[in-house]
Amino acid sequence: MAYLAIQVLAALALLAAAADAARILAVMPMPARSHHIAFGGVTKALADRGHDVTLISGLPKGNKINPANNKVIYLPNPFEDMANDVLKDFWEQKQKPYEQLQFLMNWGEKLTNTTLSSPIFLAEINKPGQKYDLILAELFFFQEAMVGLGHKFNCPVVAVNPFGTSSMVNDAMGNPVNPAWVPSPFLGFSDRMSFTERAMNSLLHVSMHAYYNYFYMPKMQALSDIHFPGAPPVQDMLRSYLGLTLVNNHFSLAYPAPMSPNVVEIGGIHIPDKPKALPKDLQDFMDSAKDGVVYFSMGSNLKVEFMPESAKQAILGALFALKERVLLKWDGPLPKNMPANVKHIEWAPQGDLLAHPNMRVFFTHGGLLSTQESVYYGVPLVGMPMFGDQQFNMLLAANKGFCVKLEIRELTRQKVDEALREVLQKPKYKEAATRLSRLFRAKPLTPAQSAVFAVETVLEHGADHLRPASVGMPLYQLLLLDVVLAAAVPFLLLFLCCRALCCGSKKAAQEDRSAAARKKRN
């Protein structure tokens, strides 16, 4: 305990010490609010420390997410024309896990190429005498070619991952992963897998590794050749320029797994130390809710207007029948004849609402930021995951005891009723959420302090001391195939010698018997 206290005090002293301001280019072209919320937590913390941060943003001007202390340069959204079709597919659950991965890879390739080709972006990075000391980017959300910016400016690159670790992060950073007990977030398995689940997890792990390295990374290499001519191969640049990956997770909201020192958890970086005051109408609504409040929201990306009609009827019917007050974040056409205890909102200060003591249940899609906020404030969940890591998040939440998980493909009014009654009426869900909240908050440094400390360490000392030797190691060495072969050779030689001796003895005995038989006949 004393050693931990010394470590914390040393880290805080370093954080408090005056540091040379670095010029940081933060590239975040993804037009998804949830990605910007976590990424913006990092850039805001660095700017608060006095660093000069230029943020390349894929959000529209006037948004309330990009930090005010960043210099923000806005890029147009290259996916605006296809967004609605994609969101409809998510609601209709048309995509299988591997199809979701392929979609995200195609999305990332287009996003990377569009960004690196953008006249707005090129004007910024090609200014005469332009220099940056560090690059921040969402490299492992299928934007790996962005590492070429590290080569262009001869500076380290820090990746920010919008969720926890992934097979791409693990390979690049040297995290040891065993698919026998580290589940893929795309399959929704726990770390206690059956034989069939382990087989499926292993198959996805191997196939994802092969697809990523032999099909997808050549596409990133082609983009690098176009936009960074003369640069080393992308895989080599990842090994030489990538110093650190900040992952938006915390081990209390994941299954325990080993982590290299060049991977730092910053889960909850978007959650302020103290909640802000609610707008008066919401404050009055929450304060006067003697039976508590159930909050319904499907996040910032999913549009409720595209929800299948049968699911709408099941959810609204169950919510409207509650005696508790209901806060309904609904962006589609408003349902008719809403009960007096239901309040409709199009936007919600979600974290501040969840912090209110009268919040009873959060009905959510299971996005990682929503899950982190609910855990931070100890609010149990009814989860209806839709895509990506949401299945994984809600299965983990159910396994940890603070969530009842629903499937939209099997949704009925009865199942929604039962899920809400279960969480509202049984104290065990609230108790589990409260217990997990204490774990989630028990950190030696805040997520912002951890991010700043890790980034400034790379700025000052580089990252060679953080990088495991397994990074870049040939697969046959990593799997000890050469050692296994070397160990097997003596046994193989012994086996061959024994076989030769046995065969020789059998042949001699057979020849003796044949000779004796001939002699007897003669």
Sorted by where each begins, the domain ranges of the chain are 23-269+446-475, 280-441
Burial class (CB in 10 A: 0-12, 13-18, 19+), 411: buried
pLDDT at 5 over 60: no
DSSP codes, 123-188: HHHTSTT---SEEEE-TTTT-GGGGHHHHHHT--EEEEESSS--HHHHHHHT----TTTS--TTTT
| Range of lowest pLDDT (64-68, 287-291, 433-437, 510-514) | 510-514
pLDDT at 187 over 60: yes
pLDDT at 50 over 80: yes
Domain covering 23-269+446-475, topology: Rossmann fold (3.40.50)
Nearest to 152 by CA among 133, 167, 174, 166: 133
**What is the rounded CA–CA span in Å between residue 75 and residue 31?**
9
DSSP label of 215: I
| Range of lowest pLDDT (28-32, 244-248, 291-295) | 28-32
pLDDT at 305 over 90: no
Structure tokens at 233: 């191969």
The CATH classification of domain 280-441, taken from the options 3.40.309.10, 3.40.50.2000, 3.60.15.10, 1.10.3720.10: 3.40.50.2000
Q: Identify which has the larger pLDDT, 334 or 292.
A: 292
418 Cβ contact list (under 8 Å, min separation 6): none
Place of tokens 């909102």: 345
Nearest to 352 by CA among 332, 331, 327: 327
pLDDT at 44 over 50: yes
- As a whole number, mean pLDDT of residues 132-144 equals 95
Residue 39 burial (CB count, 10 A): 29
pLDDT of 238: 95
pLDDT category at 205 given cuts 50, 70, 90 is: confident
Structure tokens at 453: 């400390």
Structure tokens at 417: 């009723």
pLDDT of 499: 79
pLDDT at 13 over 70: no
pTM of the model: 0.87
**What is the rounded CA–CA span in Å between residue 252 and residue 17?**
31
pLDDT category at 91 given cuts 50, 70, 90 is: low
pLDDT at 105 over 70: yes
Containing 52, the helix (H) or strand (E) segment is strand 52-57
141 Cβ contact list (under 8 Å, min separation 6): 30, 35, 104, 108, 161, 162
Structure tokens at 167: 């097979």
CA-based max dimension of the chain: 120
Per cent of the chain over pLDDT 70 is 89
pLDDT of 476: 84
pLDDT at 88 over 80: no
Show the CA angle centred on residue 521, arms to residues 519 and 522, nearest 5°: 65
Nearest to 434 by CA among 389, 390, 400: 400
CB 271 within 8 A of CB 373: yes
Q: What is the mean pLDDT of the chain?
A: 88
Structure tokens at 358: 């009268």
394 Cβ contact list (under 8 Å, min separation 6): 188, 366, 371, 381, 383, 384, 385, 403, 405
CA distances from 86 to 103, 291, 518 (A): 10, 38, 87
CA dihedral 79, 84, 88, 94 (to 10 degrees): -20
**What is the rounded CA–CA span in Å between residue 19 and residue 39?**
22
pLDDT category at 440 given cuts 50, 70, 90 is: very high
**What is the rounded CA–CA span in Å between residue 489 and residue 498?**
14
Nearest to 408 by CA among 299, 296, 295, 308: 308
Show the CA angle centred on residue 269, arms to residues 433 and 120, nearest 5°: 140
| Range of lowest pLDDT (25-34, 303-312, 510-519) | 510-519
CB 260 within 8 A of CB 293: no
| pLDDT per position as a tens digit, 450-493 | 999 999 999 999 999 999 988 878 878 888 888 999 998 888 88
pLDDT category at 95 given cuts 50, 70, 90 is: low
Q: Can you list the alpha helix ranges (DSSP code H) found in 345-470? A: 350-354, 368-376, 390-399, 413-425, 427-441, 447-461
pLDDT at 518 over 70: no
pLDDT of 1: 46
pLDDT of 86: 63
Nearest to 427 by CA among 292, 522, 325, 328: 292
pLDDT of 519: 65
pLDDT of 233: 97
pLDDT of 237: 96
CB 82 within 8 A of CB 59: no
**What is the rounded CA–CA span in Å between residue 350 and residue 24?**
30
pLDDT category at 135 given cuts 50, 70, 90 is: very high
Estimate to the nearest angstrom the gap between the alpha carbon of 176 and the chain centroid. 17
| Range of lowest pLDDT (109-113, 167-171, 450-454) | 167-171
pLDDT category at 55 given cuts 50, 70, 90 is: very high
CA dihedral 111, 114, 117, 121 (to 10 degrees): -70
pLDDT at 339 over 70: yes
Helix/strand number for the chain, H first, E second: 20, 13
Q: What's the distance, Cα to Cα, between the start and end of the chain in Å?
A: 94
